Amino acid sequence: MIILKNLTKTYGSINAIDQLNLRIHKGEFFGLLGPNGAGKTTLIRMLSTLTPSTLGSISIDGVLMDRDKSRVKSKIGIVSQHTNLESELTAKQNLELHGKLFRMPKDVLTKRIDESLEFTNLSNRKNDIIRHFSGGMKRKLMIARALLHSPEVLLMDEPTIGLDVTARRKLWDLMKRLNKEGMTVILTTHYVEEAEALCSRVGFLNFGKIIALDTPTNLIRASGEFALECFDERVNETKNMFFSDRETALEKAKSLSTSVNIRPTNLEDTFVLLTNRKVGENHECFNHSLA
């Protein structure tokens, strides 16, 4: 289990992570959903020992990060937001490099390279140079690399950013398979449909705070499962209202003179309701001006 207690990271006057308390259980597929600047990368970097906290603590399976960084590190695999592979080396050479950094014995490393490439369907490309890889293949290789030292937790920071729909879906399947085999997966995303499709639990991150935390179904249910969309032509604006049953939504629709549409509520609606700001909008400017 991963336990965050009062975790805080400040940059000057900005609270990138603000007194976060959170428990993530073994085997969970946990999603952190939030707009740009919400603090997702900061939190992932803190969980992966790369960024020290200003206040508070992180423990993994009872091991406090500040006490035993290298033990925590061995339990964690990370796929960072930006591609950081050696583009002039082959897939296999990239993995060998990582294995050496983790001081993996040569025979274990050889075995794990084969297994990780097999798992990510990259075995037949192992001797190809990264420069020729597609975005999706690079992401898969970054996952293979993160799995090399057999971590218990996989941290992924916006793993599908910039990928086309097909590559994204393939990566979703890969992540699902990993989780099904027992891996604890922590993923950040600003794609609402990604969180909804993959995660057993989702935390909405907003200005460094988790403002809601539950299963996608419960988060949606709490807003009302039926959304009534009304487009007001006078102001060219769509307004949404939420209802727990279709009948009440229909009743309301009949009383309106605007054009209306009743549809199932989604996780984006819930986020907007809670924050009054769409997922995907940039927080940077707001965060700075509020700080």
Paired tokens of 252:
């309301």
Nearest distance in Å: CB 283, ligand ADP = 7
Identified binder of ligand ADP from the candidate list 39, 136, 159, 203, rule CB under 6 A: 39
- Torsion over CA: 141, 143, 145, 148 (sign): negative
Alpha helices in 30-68 (DSSP H): 40-47
Cα(203)–Cα(214) distance, integer angstroms: 7
Paired tokens of 103:
């001081």
User: Near ligand ADP by CB under 6 A, which window of 31-39, 59-67, 115-123, 220-228?
Assistant: 31-39
User: What residue 14 binds from Mg ion, ligand ADP, none (CB within 5 to 8 A, per partner kind)?
Assistant: ligand ADP
User: What residue 31 binds from ligand ADP, Mg ion, none (CB within 5 to 8 A, per partner kind)?
Assistant: none
Do the Cβ atoms of 188 and 41 come closer than 8 Å?
A: yes
Q: Site map for Mg ion, 74-113, x if CB under 5 A?
A: -------x--------------------------------
Closest CA to 278 of 228, 206, 214, 217: 206
Do the Cβ atoms of 253 and 228 come closer than 8 Å?
A: yes
Identified binder of Mg ion from the candidate list 41, 80, 94, 120, rule CB under 5 A: 41
Please say which residue, 34 or 216, places its beta carbon nearer to Mg ion: 34
Please say which residue, 96 or 157, places its beta carbon nearer to Mg ion: 157
Cα(146)–Cα(104) distance, integer angstroms: 13
Say whether residue 72 binds ligand ADP (CB under 6 A). Answer: no
The contact set with ligand ADP (CB under 6 A) reads 11, 14, 16, 34, 36-42, 284, 287
